[in-house]
Structure 1
Amino acid sequence: MTTESAELGHGHSPAAWTAVTIMLVAFTVGTTAFFFVVPWLVWVSFVVLLAGPVAGFAMAKAGYGVASLPSATHGH
């Protein structure tokens, strides 16, 4: 039998979800562009892929990270 616990720091925050979504979309578009030989779109996707962690970091600093969630202040 397993017990469910709320582990902190595993990406359950709006900042993490936004960063991962941006990177996933960029990777998907970049891979499709590579398949169809559209080099400029591959490079644009690469730049957007690099913007994902930057957006996540900025959102975390703005208060949307794991540390700002209400459950982050409670210990186990």
Structure 2
Amino acid sequence: MSNASGSQDSTKAVLHGEDLGHGNSPAAWTCVFIMLIGALVSCIAFVIANSPIFWAGIVIIAIGLIVGWVMRRAGYGVGGSKLNNTH
């Protein structure tokens, strides 16, 4: 008899006590801050019906993603080399 409730595969164990971190890092915060600015620009442009500024806000959002990715690769992400306290 199969379990129809969606039982998990034995190879994918879920560790509920494990700390996920939730992206608390300089890379994540910078990414979100830049993306929020882009969203604000796009929202204001939408309200005033200005297409070029709207698309500029979308570009700012994409730049935020790129900056976050670059910072993570540079060691500023969760568990990154630049954040280790080795004093």
- When the two structures are superposed, what TM-score results if normalisation uses the length of structure 2? 0.68
Pick aligned residue for 2:84 from 51, 57, 70 = 70
- Structure 1 gap ranges (5+): 1-6, 72-76
Pick aligned residue for 2:64 from 45, 52, 62 = 52
CA distance in structure 1 between the aligned counterparts of 2:66 and 2:21, rounded to whole angstroms: 18
- Structure 2 gap ranges (5+): 1-18
Which aligned segments of 4 or more residues in structure 1 are displaced greater than 4 angstroms?
A: none
Aligned ranges for residues 2-17 of structure 1 at < 5 Å?
7-17=19-29
Higher relative contact order (CA 8 A, sep 6+): 1
Count of residues in correspondence between the two structures:
67
Partner AA of 1:31 in structure 2:
C
* Offset of residue 9 of structure 1: 3.4
Among the aligned pairs, what percent are the same residue?
A: 43
Q: Higher helix share goes to which structure?
A: 1
Partner AA of 1:65 in structure 2:
G
Which has the higher Rg, Structure 1 or Structure 2?
A: 2
- When the two structures are superposed, what TM-score results if normalisation uses the length of structure 1? 0.77
CA distance in structure 2 between the aligned counterparts of 1:57 and 1:29, rounded to whole angstroms: 22
